[in-house]
């Protein structure tokens, strides 16, 4: 369907179903639009996809016709846009490399989704995939490889070898200078001594080679048997041959007879033992090395503490803590030989976690303490450093010494370190009392730890029970619950909790939890915590006997989980509606009751028997039946709810994206738009009787609306078309489309119409007047001398060259834009500027190839006014062919102060571009301008007359892009 303009309407009245829409423009008179609705055959189509690029590409090329490679400089912006066709609108997903989840950038249904990476880094290079799918056929997938180019500063390292000593002098001294730089593409190296270039064979004392294990990534300069002239400044220059504009990098190393690897000394002890809170300073000094080495500090924990201070070779750790203990190393480097490294260990004193346990006479299998038998008291602490740990024992507050009946052992090799034992042999009544274990560190400064243990006739082993009514425990999901085990005995040991029925962690994530009062508290209990929990006595702080244990059962009740939680059901009047609510899980699962309601009105209630679902049917939907239906399923823990929204609302339309930029040209000052859509599930509700079309200019508040009647029934896949004309360039418009049924308005769909030239349009529709900054996707040739310039007569400054160039664009507007070559200084005679069109596809009518190449008419308007006018050429670039001939069109010299049209027929057999080339003449009054470039199918007709100037029409030029 072509656009309908005012002239056409004067001769051909609009169809009966078309109504005018009046749209007000800011500062202009209202415009009238004729909206024409056309319903055609099914338009559903599987997706196709291609990738276009913008941003800061260095180069985009095809490799072996199977892979596109996009090269970009590190730190620039990458933009890849996925262009799709197909209907319904395909969903687009970007992935990288193998499409792993970690590499996925976005997963959305936004059309023309652009992958944008600002300040791209080297690790972000790789293969990027764009996948489009709409449920029809196979998904469409295209990929592009992104190569990130970079060059780091080179680094020179020096290694020396000295031969054996003979007669008090060295037989040979050889120096190796190795140059390395990270780069992409691979770097090339060159060496200079002072200003002289060094190359293999240029000097008998110099050898340049690549080690076989580096695969060309480094260059080594070998200076054999050093001579006086070898002591000099050496420069390594790293180059990637200026790709992506990356300039060469170089580094200078001064080789002298004093050049030596670094050596250092630590002015500290090893290890350093300190108390927490002290300030520790580590001092490192250099004792040798030329050039002067650089000192740095590293820690065994990979990073220095945040509060640490490094000043020169001194590392200061203020108010040190136990977490900051470890190995600290001073590293000296001057790129000569291997770095020097010295380390010391910082130990921070600490005492923590005191425990005790009582062991009755093991030889008689006692579980309690008996007079005349042996009893052992053990005391354990964690100490840093362990060798400074000392113990002392008190009885009733008085110091004890080891004796025949009271044997004190400082360490026990059979148990973990940091343990002391007190063995009481032949226990007597007078031995009852309070025994105190005291732990301290020899260095002092750390508070000591003391543990009291009572030994008496009331000291008895533990007993463990579960209180009455505390198992099983029945709670609701989300509550706070306390599991309890009662422990008796003196002293009371620590209680250890764990899962008894399965290998699962405790609620806090650990496999075992300690409790000093026998209670395990769980906050916000969940259904997964249902099960058996074991409580058992620990040897710590109690008797070292066989553990006592018990089990507590926990049952967590939760309301029924149902589906669907929310479901929208659209249906036409008079049709049945069936709603089904299903129970997925519930505890308890017995005695489940359901209630069906419409709003607050009870429709039906009952109990579940053997089934796990309930159904409610509306036999014939009427207007009173529209609304929110709920089904509540209840148990002791609460209710689960299924919700059904029953409505007659129509589904939204689906705009038809047949091309990347489905705009077509009407007149130079206005443009038209063919709005196309299909209706989503049109048969699901009552017949659509009309569409409400809203349109407003982007940035304005007011919508102008028009109701478009629809005759007949719309079926699935039928294409609806509205032609919008008189849209003002370059304004963008927001269009809203809403279906209407007996229910009322349905769901709306909104899209933005933006004026822009198509990237790869069908040739019958291509027209470019350069009114927008993207200039219809024309690009400047990278291999020419200067660029074409986009200007309008209203903004171009012509005071320096008043006798050349146009005074308005081709339509006569001073605000209109055109392209021209500026020939003022610094331009020189013969310099060239080329403007290259986007690629145009040639689709063969014969599936086996193009037997008779189709003809296209390439036309444009030109303005060549001035006494120094050079030459304007038009070329054809065709993909895959290398034979080169002259221009398809050429004209030279002054043509007067007016716009003229050029036309030439071309016959491409493959994808092609057109190129407009301007050549600067002998002076500054030589500006050449072009405007309104078009391509049309068929041979050119009504050719303009040949001018008196030199006009040459030659065969097409075939060449690679």
Same domain, 929 and 835: yes
> Residue 97: its pLDDT value, please?
65
Give yes or no: residues 495 and 372 share one domain. Answer: no
Q: Enumerate residues 6+ apart whose C-beta is below 8 A from 148.
A: 71, 72, 73, 74, 120, 121, 122, 124, 125, 184
pLDDT bin (cut points 50, 70, 90) of residue 764 is: low
SS3 label, residue 164: coil
Residue 813 belongs to domain with CATH number: 2.60.120.200
What does pLDDT average to over the chain?
83
> What distance in Å separates the CA atoms of residue 319 and residue 275, rounded to the nearest whole number?
9
Let me know whether 240 and 162 are in one domain.
Answer: yes
Residue 546 lies in a domain: yes
Please check whether residue 26 lies inside any domain of the structure. Answer: no
Question: Does residue 296 belong to any structural domain of this protein?
Answer: yes
d(CA 184, CA 568): 55
CATH number at residue 170: 2.60.40.10
Stronger pLDDT, 647 or 7, i.e. the higher one: 647
- In order of 47, 89, 95, 109, 139, the CA distances from 131 in angstroms are 10, 13, 8, 11, 7
Residue 33 lies in a domain: no
458, 482, 504: which is the final residue of a domain?
Answer: 458
Token pair of 99, please?
């499409």
Q: Is residue 391 part of a domain?
A: no
Distance CA 89, CA 654 (A): 7
Hey, what are 52's tokens? Answer: 């276009």
Q: How many CA atoms lie within 13 A of 594 on its CB side?
A: 27
One domain, residues 207 and 323: no
d(CA 831, CA 86): 45
- 3-state helix, strand, coil split of the chain in percent (to 5) is 5, 50, 45
What CA–CA distance (Å, rounded) separates 908 from 879? 9
What was the pLDDT predicted at 663?
Answer: 55
Please measure the distance between the N-terminal and C-terminal CA atoms of the chain and give it in whole angstroms.
35
Using CA atoms, how far residue 219 sits from 157, 238, 475, in Å, is 11, 10, 74
45 CB neighbour count, 10 Å cutoff: 17
Residue 292 contacts residue 286 (beta carbons within 8 Å): yes
Which of 468, 604, 472, 449 is CA-nearest to residue 551? 472
Taking the C-alpha atoms of residue 377 and residue 424, their distance in angstroms, rounded to an integer, is: 8
- Interval 782-808: pLDDT, tens: 889 999 998 887 766 555 457 888 988
pLDDT tens, residue by residue, 537-575: 998 888 888 899 999 999 999 999 999 999 999 999 999
Residue 163 has pLDDT above 70, yes or no: no
pLDDT for the residue numbered 802: 72
Cα separation of 883 and 877, whole Å? 11
- pLDDT reported for residue 731: 86
Same domain, 834 and 933: yes
* Domain stops at, among 754, 773, 807: 754
pLDDT tens string 174-193: 899 999 999 998 898 999 99
Residue by residue, DSSP assigns 634-670 as EETTEEEEEEEEEE-PPPPEEE---SSS-EEEEETTE
Closest CA to 141 of 87, 89, 84, 86: 84
Together in a domain, 658 and 638: no
Rounded CA-CA distance 43/365 in Å is 91
Could you give the C-alpha distances from 624 to 324, 403, 575, 630, 863, in angstroms and in order? 74, 99, 13, 16, 72
Asked if residue 101 is part of any domain, the answer here is: yes
When computed from its CA atoms, the radius of gyration of the chain, rounded to whole angstroms, is 44
Shared domain check, 928 and 801: yes
484/449 Cα distance (integer angstroms): 31
pLDDT digits (tens, 9 = 90+) for 664-707: 554 567 777 878 889 999 999 999 999 999 999 998 999 989 99
In a shared domain, residues 216 and 315: no
How far apart (Å, rounded) are the C-alpha atoms in residues 470 and 480?
14
Q: What are phi and psi of 600, to 5 degrees?
A: -100, 0
Which of 353-357, 506-510, 577-581 tops mean pLDDT? 577-581
d(CA 307, CA 426): 57
Q: 217 with 232: CB under 8 angstroms? A: no
- Whole-number Å distance between alpha carbons of 932 and 668: 9
CB atoms within 10 A of CB 434: 13
Torsions phi, psi for 430 (to 5 deg): -75, -10
| CA pair distance 535, 515, nearest whole angstrom | 9
Both tokens assigned to 71: 């090269």
pLDDT tens digits for 717-730? 888 888 887 888 88
pLDDT of 833 reads 95
Angle at 476 between CA 470 and CA 479, to 5 degrees: 85
For residues 107 and 682, give the distance between their C-alpha atoms in angstroms, rounded to a whole number: 28
From residue 269, alpha-carbon distances to 318, 345, 862 in Å are 18, 9, 87
Domain boundary among 735, 754, 773: 754
CA-angle at 408, arms to 405 and 413, nearest 5°: 125
pLDDT greater than 50 at residue 762: no
Tell me how crowded residue 298 is: count the other CB atoms within 10 A of its CB: 16
Is 315 among the domain residues?
yes
Residue, of 745 and 56, whose pLDDT is higher? 745
More confident residue, 741 or 53: 741
Q: What is the DSSP letter of 388?
A: G
Do 639 and 687 fall into the same domain?
Answer: no
Query: Between residues 54 and 871, which one has the greater pLDDT?
Result: 871
Any domain includes 6: no
- Report pLDDT digits (tens) over 1-47: 333 333 333 333 444 344 444 444 334 444 444 444 444 445 678 88
- Cross-strand bridge partners of residue 484: 519
Q: Is 931 found in the same domain as 812?
A: yes
Q: How many helices (H) and strands (E) does the chain have?
A: 1, 77
Q: Out of 491-505, 620-634, 935-949, pick the least confident.
A: 935-949
For residues 726 and 667, state if they share a domain. Answer: yes
Helix (H, G, I), strand (E, B) or coil at 101: helix
- For residue 259, the SS3 value is coil
Angstrom distance (rounded) from CA 74 to CA 150: 6
pLDDT in tens, 423-469: 999 999 999 999 999 999 987 889 999 999 999 888 888 999 999 99
Token match 């303490």: residue? Answer: 369
Q: What tokens does 237 get?
A: 């220059």
**Measuring CA to CA, which residue among 778, 805, 776, 779 is closest to residue 793?**
805
Which pLDDT does position 164 carry in this prediction? 47
| Count of the separate structural domains present in the chain | 8
Quote the strand ranges of 186-279, DSSP E.
188-193, 196-198, 206-209, 218-223, 233-239, 249-254, 260-266, 272-274
Range of the domain at 518: 461-557
- Say how far residue 291 (Cα) sits from the centre of its chain: 44
> What mean pLDDT comes out for the span 840-852?
53
278 Ramachandran zone, left/alpha/beta (phi>0; psi -120 to 50): beta
Check whether residue 928 and residue 787 sit in a common domain: yes
- CA angle (260 as vertex; 255, 262 as ends), nearest 5: 130
């Amino acid at each position: 369907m072509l656009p309908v303009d005012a002239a056409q309407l004067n001769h051909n009245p609009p169809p009966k179903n078309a109504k005018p829409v009046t749209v007000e423009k800011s500062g202009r008179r209202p415009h009238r639009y004729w909206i024409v609705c056309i319903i055609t055959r099914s338009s559903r189509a599987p997706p196709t996809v291609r990738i276009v690029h913008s941003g800061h590409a260095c180069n985009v090329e095809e490799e072996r016709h199977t892979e596109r490679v996009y090269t970009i400089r590190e730190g620039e912006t990458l933009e890849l846009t996925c262009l799709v066709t197909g209907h319904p609108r395909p969903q687009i997903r970007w992935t990288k490399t193998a499409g792993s989840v970690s590499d996925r950038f976005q997963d959305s249904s936004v059309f023309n989704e652009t992958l944008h990476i600002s300040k791209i880094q080297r690790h972000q290079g790789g293969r990027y995939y764009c996948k489009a799918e709409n449920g029809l056929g196979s998904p469409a997938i295209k990929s592009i490889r992104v190569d990130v180019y970079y060059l780091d500063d080179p680094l020179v390292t020096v290694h020396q070898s000295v031969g054996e000593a003979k007669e008090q002098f060295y037989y040979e001294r050889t120096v190796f200078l190795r140059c390395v730089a990270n780069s992409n593409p691979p770097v090339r190296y060159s060496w200079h001594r002072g200003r002289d270039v060094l190359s293999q064979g240029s000097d008998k004392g110099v050898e340049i080679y690549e080690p076989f294990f580096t695969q060309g990534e480094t260059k080594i300069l070998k200076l054999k048997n050093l001579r006086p002239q070898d002591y000099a400044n050496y420069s390594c220059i790293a180059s990637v041959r200026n790709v992506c504009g990356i300039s060469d990098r170089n580094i200078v190393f001064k080789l002298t007879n004093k050049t030596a690897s670094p050596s250092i000394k630590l002015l500290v002890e090893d290890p350093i033992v300190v108390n927490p809170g002290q300030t520790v300073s580590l001092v490192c000094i250099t004792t040798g090395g030329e050039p002067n080495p650089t000192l740095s500090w590293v820690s065994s924990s990979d990073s220095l503490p945040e509060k640490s201070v490094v000043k020169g070779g001194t590392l200061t750790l203020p108010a040190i803590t136990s977490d900051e203990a470890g190995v600290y190393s001073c590293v000296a480097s001057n790129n000569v030989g291997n770095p020097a490294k010295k380390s010391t260990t910082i130990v921070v004193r600490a005492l923590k976690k005191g425990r005790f346990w009582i062991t009755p006479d093991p030889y008689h299998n006692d579980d309690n303490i008996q007079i005349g038998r042996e009893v052992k008291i053990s005391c354990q602490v964690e100490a840093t450093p362990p060798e400074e740990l000392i113990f002392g024992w008190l009885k009733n507050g008085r110091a004890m010494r080891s004796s025949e009946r009271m044997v004190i052992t400082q360490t026990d090799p059979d148990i973990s370190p940091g343990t002391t034992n007190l063995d009481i042999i032949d226990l007597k009544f007078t031995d009852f009392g309070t025994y105190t274990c005291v732990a301290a560190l020899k260095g002092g400064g750390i508070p000591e730890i003391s543990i009291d243990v009572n030994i008496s006739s009331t000291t008895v082993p533990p007993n463990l029970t579960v209180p009455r009514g505390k198992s099983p425990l029945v709670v609701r999901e989300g509550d706070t619950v306390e599991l309890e085990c009662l422990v008796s005995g003196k002293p009371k040991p620590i209680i250890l909790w764990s899962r008894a029925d399965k290998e699962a962690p405790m609620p806090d994530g650990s496999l075992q939890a300690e409790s000093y009062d026998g209670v395990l508290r769980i906050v916000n209990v969940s259904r997964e915590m249902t099960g058996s929990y074991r409580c058992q006595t620990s040897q710590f702080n109690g008797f070292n006997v066989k553990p006592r244990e018990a089990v507590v059962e926990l049952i967590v009740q939760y309301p029924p989980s149902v589906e669907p939680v929310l479901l929208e059901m659209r249906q036409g009047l008079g049709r049945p509606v069936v709603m089904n609510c299903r129970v997925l899980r519930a505890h308890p699962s017995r005695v489940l009751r359901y209630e069906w309601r419409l709003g607050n009105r009870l429709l039906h209630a009952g109990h579940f028997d053997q089934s796990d679902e309930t159904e409610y049917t509306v036999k014939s939907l009427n207007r009173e039946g529209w609304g929110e239906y709920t089904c509540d399923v209840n148990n002791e823990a609460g209710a689960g709810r299924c919700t059904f929204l029953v409505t007659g609302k129509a589904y939204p339309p689906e705009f038809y994206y047949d091309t990347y930029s489905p705009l077509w040209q009407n007149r130079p000052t206005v443009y038209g738009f063919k709005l196309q859509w299909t209706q989503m599930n049109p048969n699901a509700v009552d017949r659509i009787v009309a569409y409400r079309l809203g349109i407003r200019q982007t940035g304005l508040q007011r919508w102008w609306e028009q109701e478009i009647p629809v005759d007949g029934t719309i079926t699935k896949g039928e294409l609806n078309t509205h032609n919008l004309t008189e849209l003002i360039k370059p304004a963008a418009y927001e269009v809203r489309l809403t279906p209407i049924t007996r229910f009322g308005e349905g769901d709306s769909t909104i899209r933005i119409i933006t004026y822009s030239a198509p990237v790869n349009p069908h040739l019958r529709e291509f027209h470019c007047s350069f009114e927008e900054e993207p200039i219809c996707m024309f690009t400047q040739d990278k291999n020419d001398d200067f660029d074409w310039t986009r200007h309008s007569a209203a903004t171009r400054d012509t005071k320096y060259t008043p006798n050349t160039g146009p005074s308005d664009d081709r339509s006569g507007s001073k605000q209109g834009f055109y392209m021209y070559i500026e020939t003022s200084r610094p331009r020189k005679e013969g310099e060239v500027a080329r403007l290259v069109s986007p690629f145009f596809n040639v689709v063969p009518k014969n599936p086996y190839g193009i037997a008779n190449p189709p003809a296209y008419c390439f036309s444009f308007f030109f303005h060549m006014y001035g006494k120094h006018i050079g030459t304007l050429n038009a070329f054809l670039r065709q993909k895959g062919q290398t034979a080169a001939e002259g221009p398809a069109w050429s004209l030279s010299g002054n043509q007067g102060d007016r716009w003229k049209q050029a036309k030439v027929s071309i016959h491409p057999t493959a994808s092609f571009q057109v190129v407009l080339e301007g050549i600067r003449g002998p002076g500054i009054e030589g500006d050449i301008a072009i405007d309104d470039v078009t391509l049309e199918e068929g041979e050119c007709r009504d050719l303009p007359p040949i001018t008196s100037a030199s006009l040459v029409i030659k065969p097409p030029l075939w060449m690679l892009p």
